[in-house]
């Protein structure tokens, strides 16, 4: 893997190379600065680009060229995903041709992909916020870039490369910082083409119709009411993430978002189910065994929701995050608003989520 993918790193203008599988695991890429952040971003961008291409009825998404204010990034999508970071003055045309050749070489050696180190699913822990996002037609912009003079592999080497035999669908995205914030309304798209209709993702989870909760007078009843509310809040977050990112990436990000060190008792042996939801039954069991009172429950579950919100907000922007959970959170507010206020739950929820209820 290092020998094949590392060829790209030797090219003039290339600053980093990463290879991930479809579930989001990083097979190669430790040399990329902040590779977890960029890998998570690339996963979201590739998924959104696929939905955009499907809306136009043009087939499968294959590659994106992204231009930052201080650099560039190429994402090539196949059985694995290849991400290339390049300098501001690099020649993207040459890099893209060479990157495709490297990816074909990787795919022709499946044993290399299977032998790659099993690395953690990508999740961010820093920098956020995007500004203006523009999507342009792919081929024209790429052609302009390739025509610019630049240094790198020799002219003979580039001309000897075998050009792809089929038309590529490419998306060029320009924005000034790092993370997309404009995926709010696309939460019901899917990975299947069904032209001319618009496909929708059907997550394995469905949000139930909620009945209003009345807060009991006894402490045990109050604890049970709080757990019921928190269970549906966490379920709503899992459903929203699955709509946008797909089940496997959403489950991986949720796993990495859990504050195990801050809440070791309530999260002991709590994992993520195959449908990307938190194992709330195990969490509930931990609460009962530890004899948590109401304040302990609210304190720990507020930390958990806060941590998840911070991670998703950093990756896709808080506007997009609110957009993906808005339908379920609106239902939660309809059914549980009075109980959340009476129990002191609402005031402890992350302020970015409270904005949904304040609209």
Q: For the segment 208-244, what is each residue's pLDDT rounded down to a tens digit? A: 999 999 899 999 999 999 999 999 999 999 998 888 7
Note whether residue 202 is domain-resident. Answer: no
Same domain for 12 and 158: yes
284 shares its domain with 145: no
Same domain, 155 and 224: no
7, 126: one domain:
yes
What is the C-alpha to C-alpha distance for residues 102 and 278, in angstroms, rounded to an integer? 38
How many angstroms from the chain centroid is the CA of residue 271? 19
- Decide: 107 and 79 in contact? Cβ < 8 Å: yes
Domain co-membership, 38 together with 117 = yes
200 domain-assigned = no
* Percent of the chain with pLDDT strictly greater than 70: 68
Q: Do 256 and 157 fall into the same domain? A: no
22/162 same-domain check: yes
Angle at 240 between CA 277 and CA 121, to 5 degrees: 55
State yes or no: pLDDT of 320 exceeds 90. Answer: no
Are 225 and 115 part of one and the same domain?
Answer: no
For residue 143, the surrounding DSSP H or E stretch is helix 138-147
Asked if residue 183 has pLDDT above 70, the reply is no
What pLDDT is stored for residue 205 in this prediction? Answer: 67
Question: What average pLDDT does this structure show over 12-41?
Answer: 71
Domain boundary among 140, 156, 174: 174
Whether 75 and 7 share a structural domain: yes
pTM for the full model?
0.50
- Does one domain contain both 53 and 167? yes
Q: How far apart are CA 118 and CA 143, in angstroms?
A: 37
- Our count of domains for the chain comes to 2
Is residue 181, in this structure, part of any structural domain at all?
no
Q: What is the CATH number of the domain that holds 26?
A: 3.30.450.30
Helix segments in 210-350, DSSP class H? 219-245, 247-257, 280-289, 294-316, 318-343
Residues 214 and 198: beta-carbon distance below 8 Å: no
pLDDT of 169 strictly over 60: no
Q: Is residue 194 part of a domain?
A: no
- Give yes or no for residue 201 having a pLDDT over 70: no
Let me know whether 74 and 167 are in one domain.
Answer: yes
Residues 303 and 156 both lie in one domain: no
Mean pLDDT of the chain, nearest integer: 74
Q: 146 by DSSP, 3-state: which?
A: helix
Is residue 196 in some structural domain?
Answer: no
User: Which structural domain, as residue segments, surrounds residue 106?
Assistant: 2-174
Q: Which of 38-47, 116-125, 286-295, 308-317 has the highest mean pLDDT?
A: 286-295
Q: How far apart are CA 28 and CA 77, in angstroms?
A: 15
> How many Å apart are CA 103 and CA 82, to the nearest integer?
7
């Amino acid at each position: 893997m290092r020998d094949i993918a590392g060829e790209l790193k030797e090219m003039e203008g290339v600053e980093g190379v990463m290879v991930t599988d479809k579930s989001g695991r990083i097979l190669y890429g430790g040399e990329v600065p902040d590779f977890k952040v960029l890998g998570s971003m690339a996963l979201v961008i590739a998924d959104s680009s696929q939905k955009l291409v499907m809306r136009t009825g043009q087939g499968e998404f294959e590659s994106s060229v992204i231009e930052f204010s201080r650099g560039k990034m190429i994402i090539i999508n196949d059985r694995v995903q290849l991400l290339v970071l390049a300098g501001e003055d690099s020649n993207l045309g040459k890099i893209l041709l060479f990157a495709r050749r490297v990816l074909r070489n990787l795919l022709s050696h499946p044993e290399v992909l299977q032998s790659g180190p099993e690395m953690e699913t990508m999740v961010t822990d820093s920098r956020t916020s995007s500004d203006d996002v523009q999507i342009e037609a792919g081929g024209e912009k790429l052609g302009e870039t390739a025509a610019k003079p630049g240094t790198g592999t020799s002219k003979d080497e580039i001309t000897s490369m075998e050009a792809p035999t089929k038309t590529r669908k490419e998306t060029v995205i320009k924005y000034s910082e790092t993370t997309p914030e404009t995926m709010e309304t696309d939460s019901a798209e899917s990975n299947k083409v069904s032209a001319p209709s618009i496909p929708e993702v059907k997550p394995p989870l469905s949000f139930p119709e909620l009945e209003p909760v009345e807060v009991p007078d006894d402490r045990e009843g109050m604890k049970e009411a709080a757990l019921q509310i928190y269970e549906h809040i966490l379920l709503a977050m899992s459903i929203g993430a699955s709509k946008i990112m797909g089940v496997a990436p959403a489950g991986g990000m949720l796993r990495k978002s859990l504050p195990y060190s801050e809440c070791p008792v309530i999260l002991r042996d709590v994992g993520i189910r195959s449908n990307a939801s938190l194992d709330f039954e195990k969490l509930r069991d931990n609460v009962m065994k530890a004899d948590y009172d109401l304040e302990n429950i609210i304190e720990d579950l507020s930390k958990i929701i806060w941590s998840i919100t911070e991670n998703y907000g950093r990756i896709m922007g808080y506007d997009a995050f609110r957009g993906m959970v808005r339908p379920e959170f609106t239902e939660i507010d309809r059914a549980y608003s009075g109980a959340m206020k009476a129990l002191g739950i609402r005031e402890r929820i992350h302020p970015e989520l409270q904005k949904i209820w304040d609209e």
